[in-house]
Structure 1
């Protein structure tokens, strides 16, 4: 094979490839391509054609074009409207780009052109015959290439030309064509093309078999249709009823009995007419039947009568749940209004509270009090809008959404519908289910709720929707706006005792096959379980501990033939092991640099220990304990306030430059954030720096400003209940949170002394002892580190003066 070098303009091709000896029309519209064509016409009408690697690339670079292409001659040129040029080109020879000379205003390249020289031997002759035979078979089967093409190919004696012409007629991918173009060696080119034609031949043969199969199926269907029409004519002559006609009449009778709304009835009748016109075995007939079944099974006009006896309803609510006064009052108010106003829309209530406080079971009790059907739907992890609105009937396996499914399951259009875990929905590319719920939970819109599958408005205004959530902040704002939020903060110890006695113990005794006489739990034992084996807002862990006692009792009854087991506070550890929690902190001593804060979590309130240490350094403030940005800012604000009050607190100014301060909140693996710990961190800082102890039975919550103002915070009820569980006797709250104290149970308020403050000075006065417990040297060279326990308890007289013990 000989080669020669030429400098030619380059025309990049998109989605097409030109072989030598191939004649083809090309439409050229890009500016660079037009310039290349015009340059070739000025020269000798010769141009280099190379294909782009990606057809979508509008402005290809050197790396976007294949290096091997075809030198071609421009035979004709025609300018079209819009600046496009249509050219007729004929491939001359293969060529390879040696270098790009320029790319502006067009590509100019130096190419190495190959001229094919070969000696025809037996191997080449065999490859040519095999290729021609395969090509003939391909043309016969595919019907895409004119038979005349085979005649022109058979008479070719040049193997390279034969391969190029056959490759140009095949519908191959650009990559396959380029691989043939790049095969400079004649033998390799013929072998590669033989393999490609053989593969294409297999595909064409498979297509032919599929077409034959489809044609036979169509002929069979047409034959069945013809025979059925004949059968219908015979049945009409004999006076017999057609099966499909009978099915249509039966459906019409059911539609008339169902008493659909007018719009739904018209739609159902149209679907019946469609069904009658379809062949019985048609796939779409099954879809129509399923749709009609759903329409007929929905309770369009069926509803249950509400029990409007307020006394009975109140007794049922009291029987099922202890406490929860606000919720019970809301349900009784609804019943009273229903008794006066017959056409009241169903309320949309959202119970927000930590796990285990009875949100889901409360919905079941409400349904029992109203004598309504109860449906529960969990929204946790739902991320598809079709779960709410259903699928379009065009999809395979389409079904209505879970709202309509629940209504069908209830069999009435006014059930109590519980949407559980509404704060745990998510979204993805399939839509936002929370947005789909907006129509469901909007009293002004849900009387015409439209499901994608049913495609007819269904009235949900009589449904009593109840939603539950652990965290209000995770519920989308538009959804919150449509619901009445009722908070269930948690139970006091007394409420937990009563719930255990009235509900949990009888339930677990029954579930474990025991009787009341076999197991006895005293009230003191229950209190000890609550105090030392659980620490929660709800009663789930309490029920688990009771279940554990029941299991061990059942084993003693079966193994040791014991007839009665008495569990006392002293023998409790034999059933539940070592206590998991330490009840109360009242027995602990006052400490320096350790303050007790109150925090709100998703599972209720909790106490938060904040520790501060001071040691020799360079005035650096270190914060540890996996704190969020808000909490870090609160620590910085408290630190700045203490520094600004150095003179009033008796602190040496040099202390901050030569001592490091470390603030740590234990349980570092748990993320902590929020504005509630500002005054707590400031108190711990003041205690560590001044050496004054923080009173052990005092807990506090509130945000601090740089000027020392104490700002209000949320979650007061949960935090106070947590303080009560921990045995705290005094709680410091911001003055602006006084209104939130009405939510705190009276039994808890009677056992805790509340101090309302507006300024940080009041906090320090209430939380710290009057004098340091040991002499404190405020020299910058001497680190202030609290001594190791035990400490002596601090005693403060009526004037607030510290009295040494």
Structure 2
């Protein structure tokens, strides 16, 4: 099909813009089209039996259909066939007829372009023939280098006399950029076009030569690498047969070098033992089962940071600053910690290093969540020393601390040596957590090892069984924590100085929540302070109704729970910018309140007294109840009490009997059960008959909770006295104290926690032993002392006078 069958040029015909390749005249090529303008151009051409022009889009403008988005020279041709494909695409078979120049362009659907035939300028035949000969020579060179070059192309161009056709054929197989392809495509001078093609082919030849050289070098390098690898493997095999191993020799050299480096910092015995084991390892066959065990030992020893110390000098000012930054309240614990490090700083300044390591070991004692471990963290930060935490809770195996002998399978160093390896310093801050929960069994008693670890006279030569030589622990700052001092064996208690960290008052909890917990939890949950509104009233409600603890650990969890719900609320509703949590809507965020301590009863009752108790989680108010039943004076006690409290109940009963016998506790004759004859004759019965003719049942709820301790004597005595005399006990009075048989009130422990519990229960008066009043009252928070009357008592009569409604 020739152009003569169509209208004369220039003419306006549909325009197809192809993204990838330049098509050449006399080519029949498939085109896959998805652009709607291109598809409409095809449909128009087929419907009206017109030619189309196919142009190529410029680099970076493939999706555009505007002026200067495509090259102005394309191929004029006709559509031979069209096939519809899925997704609205089509495939057409296009036949190129001639090159054309696009003179004008109309943005319509379909696109139309005014096109004229692009005529070639032909030079002399001799000149063209010489250029073609050079071109064919270069094409042959390129075909030898490029394996993907069409094999039959050379034969085709040798048999062809048309220079333009030859140029088109070669241009169509060259891989060049769009701009360069356009330059070759649009060139009207045939001779110049052939020369340009020769230039492009020469560049291709050079490029392929360089690629070939690089490929040859890479292949030779790979071959050399493989060769070296096989040779090395052969050498290894030979050395293995001969019992020699270069890798092992290198490792032994490395171990000896590391040992020499730390020699001056090691104990002589330690150096001798390590050197001996390295020599032993060097003589062993690497495949021996003992070799890996011995190698592990050597590496563990060399990992110990001998001679590595944190260089930061002790500064009591830095310690105080860090403690005040991280903790609210805790005045006395902070003072004692400051004093401890003040002494160390003084000894350091005066070069008394041997005395510096012989100070006492601090032990923070208190309920969970009051900040014992975090105090140690603050000390670590202030001193800029690494922190090592050794959890002792439930530890029963003595080898956990002292290390396992290397004869055992799975032997390893003790936790202290492992702590030094992890810290990479010989003077870290080491926290011995929950030292009161160490256990003893058939595998030994870890508390006995702790005696050596914490004794300044012994710990500079602590012998780890795995290492089998002494190691210096004297530079470690040991800090221990405990919940209950009474559970620590006496010899171990003697090694430590106890710093008591008591329960927090509601006011202290509020400040901790406001200044520490809430900002920290907001940051953890990705919230800004402006996005959550929490008033003081709401925080106080959370403290009093939703937590039951001496510390603030559960309080932190409550805030975390709140903020999780707030985060979800903000993410689910873009219109929410700020969430306000108050006393009215708090139930939407938290479950029903958990009352920490029942408030004081409003009504005075017979046989119900408020006792104050100490627990491992802080103070508590225990209601002591009693009833009387007609009987023979038998006392029965329930409430899961320990032996000490059972004895206290018997003592209390005896003390009350003495009070009745002496007339100190008056009994109305009307309340004493009488025999018929006594009723008839209206006999005045002896007051002592009241405890002979009644049985007493004393109960301390809740029954499932074990209770013990020497501080419930006056509470039980008051309850028994109340129920026998039928005199009511003041409901807003709480008390604590132990009794002797003579009726004297003995001092007790845990006074601060107990009075805080009474304060939380809104008691108006607290009765405490006089010795505690004189000795411990300055430790009680001012808000507790201001909120209720604290009265000292000496004997049981004082208790009856203050607590009974007479």
1:279 alignment partner in structure 2: 285
Give the CA deviation at 1:411: 0.3
1:253 alignment partner in structure 2: 257
| Residue among 371, 389, 397 paired with 1:358 | 371
Residue-by-residue CA offset, 1:764-800 (whole Å, 9 max, x unaligned): 1011112xxxxxxxxxxxxxxxxxxxxxxxxxxxxxx
Give the CA deviation at 1:578: 3.0
| Residue among 729, 749, 757 paired with 2:764 | 729
- The equivalences for 1:288-437 within 5 A come to 288-342=294-348, 343=353, 344-345=356-357, 347-437=360-450
- The equivalences for 1:204-603 within 5 A come to 231=242, 243-259=247-263, 260-261=265-266, 262-342=268-348, 343=353, 344-345=356-357, 347-561=360-574, 562-581=576-595, 585-586=599-600, 588-603=602-617
Residues of 2 paired with 1:434 and 1:242: CA distance? 47
Give the CA deviation at 1:731: 0.8
What is the SS of the residue equivalent to 1:696?
coil
Give the CA deviation at 1:226: 13
Which range moves more in the overlay, 727-736 or 323-332?
323-332
Could you tell me whether the CA contact under 8 Å between 1:389 and 1:451 is conserved in 2?
Answer: yes
1:759 alignment partner in structure 2: 795
Residue-by-residue CA offset, 1:353-403 (whole Å, 9 max, x unaligned): 111111111111110011110011111121111100111111222110111
Residue-by-residue CA offset, 1:49-95 (whole Å, 9 max, x unaligned): xxxxxxxxxxxxxxxxxxxxxxxxxxxxxxxxxxxxxxxxxxxxxxx
Could you tell me whether the CA contact under 8 Å between 1:532 and 1:583 is conserved in 2?
Answer: no
1:650 alignment partner in structure 2: 666
| Residue among 742, 747, 760 paired with 2:778 | 742
1:686 alignment partner in structure 2: 721
Residues of 1 paired with 2:291 and 2:592: CA distance? 67
Could you tell me whether the CA contact under 8 Å between 2:691 and 2:724 is conserved in 1?
Answer: no
Give the CA deviation at 1:524: 1.4
- The equivalences for 1:627-646 within 5 A come to 627-646=641-660
Give the CA deviation at 1:229: 9.6
Residues of 2 paired with 1:370 and 1:517: CA distance? 35
Give the CA deviation at 1:603: 1.3
Residues of 1 paired with 2:341 and 2:439: CA distance? 35
CA-based RMSD of the aligned residues comes to: 2.3
Residues of 2 paired with 1:437 and 1:522: CA distance? 48
Residue-by-residue CA offset, 1:698-748 (whole Å, 9 max, x unaligned): 100111122211111221111111111111121101112221223222332
Residues of 1 paired with 2:647 and 2:601: CA distance? 33
Residue-by-residue CA offset, 1:254-298 (whole Å, 9 max, x unaligned): 211223423322222222222222222222222222121112111
2:701 alignment partner in structure 1: 666
Residues of 1 paired with 2:249 and 2:369: CA distance? 57
Which range moves more in the overlay, 371-380 or 556-565?
556-565
Could you tell me whether the CA contact under 8 Å between 1:427 and 1:433 is conserved in 2?
Answer: yes
Could you tell me whether the CA contact under 8 Å between 1:584 and 1:728 is conserved in 2?
Answer: no
Give the CA deviation at 1:339: 2.7
Structure exhibiting the larger radius of gyration computed from Cα positions: 2
Could you tell me whether the CA contact under 8 Å between 1:699 and 1:732 is conserved in 2?
Answer: yes
Residues of 1 paired with 2:629 and 2:262: CA distance? 83
Could you tell me whether the CA contact under 8 Å between 2:316 and 2:345 is conserved in 1?
Answer: no
CA shift in 2, pair 1:666/1:383, >3 Å = same
Could you tell me whether the CA contact under 8 Å between 2:611 and 2:715 is conserved in 1?
Answer: yes
Could you tell me whether the CA contact under 8 Å between 1:520 and 1:567 is conserved in 2?
Answer: yes
What is the SS of the residue equivalent to 2:275?
helix
Residues of 1 paired with 2:636 and 2:508: CA distance? 42
Which range moves more in the overlay, 570-579 or 453-462?
570-579
2:93 alignment partner in structure 1: none
Give the CA deviation at 1:230: 8.2
Aligned residues: 540
1:773 alignment partner in structure 2: none
What is the SS of the residue equivalent to 1:285?
helix
1:699 alignment partner in structure 2: 734
Residues of 1 paired with 2:436 and 2:618: CA distance? 16
Could you tell me whether the CA contact under 8 Å between 1:584 and 1:727 is conserved in 2?
Answer: no
1:795 alignment partner in structure 2: none
Residue-by-residue CA offset, 1:556-590 (whole Å, 9 max, x unaligned): 21223322111123332332243221766346222
Residue-by-residue CA offset, 1:631-652 (whole Å, 9 max, x unaligned): 1222222222222222332223
Could you tell me whether the CA contact under 8 Å between 1:390 and 1:400 is conserved in 2?
Answer: yes
Residues of 1 paired with 2:255 and 2:596: CA distance? 69
What is the SS of the residue equivalent to 1:639?
helix
CA shift in 2, pair 1:245/1:545, >3 Å = closer
Give the CA deviation at 1:611: 1.2
What is the SS of the residue equivalent to 2:757?
helix
Residues of 2 paired with 1:512 and 1:441: CA distance? 41
Give the CA deviation at 1:677: 1.0
Residues of 2 paired with 1:634 and 1:571: CA distance? 47
Extract unaligned runs of 5+ from structure 1: 1-223, 236-240, 771-805
1:77 alignment partner in structure 2: none
Question: Normalising to structure 2: TM-score of the pair?
Answer: 0.64
